[in-house]
Amino acid sequence: MTTHANGAGGTPVTPNSAEIDITLQELVLDSQDIAGFLTDLAVVAADRLSMPGSKVHAGVTVIRHKRPKAVASSDAEARALDELQNGFGDGPCLTALRTKSPLLVQDLAGEHRWAPYVKVARAEGVGSILAVPLDLAGDADAVLNLYSGRSDGFSAEDISTVESFARQAAGSLRLVLRITQLSETKADLSTALESRTIIDMAVGAIMAENRCSRETAFKILTKASSTRNIKLREVAAAVIASIAGEKEIETYFDE
């Protein structure tokens, strides 16, 4: 990473590792999903680095289907700046994301890389940019993007804080991803169990109505599903509703 010149940016008291860890634990517990966690992360990062008269905007970009997408931000300006860079398809944040290395642009006025993007970013009031990838151990590619309206807007202390914050945030984000995956698995299992219960109820009803075997009843159900081109669960629910005169079918199974 390029070293910071003169430390002209704000120099807030650097939180120690334990303080950062407690903050991130609270974010994990309070966030309902990944998007919520990342938004809280961006807000905390921006708040930590902002000083009176020198506001920092923070956003998070991830790679989805080989394309960058702004998924969280501390405010509307941060999201607009992330989307601006993503629209160009190149810039310091995307470079940091692709190389998996932190990148600091101390002064956009003297930056000659990414010329088309830099010209527009300067017009939008950006003076300096700090981008730090989040190492998610293969789960996804993400980068924390920080924008300052000042040249030399990030001090050496700021950089150290953000890198420490990003390292620990990545660990917390991996945990959120695991929790989300477990929640999705549970939801899928619940849906599958509910569908199976309704189908079993419909098969039993058909067996009783037609005095046939379970295999024959299931064939009747699947044939109706195929003929009408609707899901088996929906056919089963319709069968039960027609027999019981109920529109809402309740099922019971263990969580």
Torsion-angle region of 114 (φ positive above 0: left; ψ -120 to 50: alpha; else: beta)? left
For residue 174, what pLDDT is reported?
61
For residue 23, what pLDDT is reported?
47
Are 72 and 78 in contact by the 8 Å Cβ rule? The answer is: no
Q: What is the mean pLDDT of residues 20-43?
A: 61
Per-residue pLDDT tens for 67-90?
Answer: 888 988 999 999 999 999 999 999
CATH architecture, domain 187-244: Orthogonal Bundle (1.10)
Per-residue pLDDT tens for 132-191?
Answer: 988 765 556 789 999 999 999 999 888 888 888 787 777 666 665 554 454 444 444 445
Residue 108 to residue 129: CA distance in whole angstroms: 8
Q: Where are the domains of the chain?
A: 17-182, 187-244
pLDDT range class, residue 12, cuts 50, 70, 90: very low
Fold assignment, 17-182: Beta-Lactamase (3.30.450)
Per-residue pLDDT tens for 186-237?
Answer: 444 445 555 677 777 888 888 887 888 888 888 887 888 788 787 777 878 8
Residue 116 to residue 88: CA distance in whole angstroms: 8
Q: What is the CA radius of gyration of the chain?
A: 27
The total of other beta-carbon atoms located within 10 Å of residue 21's CB is 15
Q: Is the pLDDT of residue 28 over 60?
A: no
Q: Which CA distances in Å does 224 have to 135, 158, 204, 232, 247? A: 50, 65, 16, 8, 19
Residue 220 to residue 222: CA distance in whole angstroms: 6
Q: Is the pLDDT of residue 126 over 90?
A: yes
For residue 9, what pLDDT is reported?
44
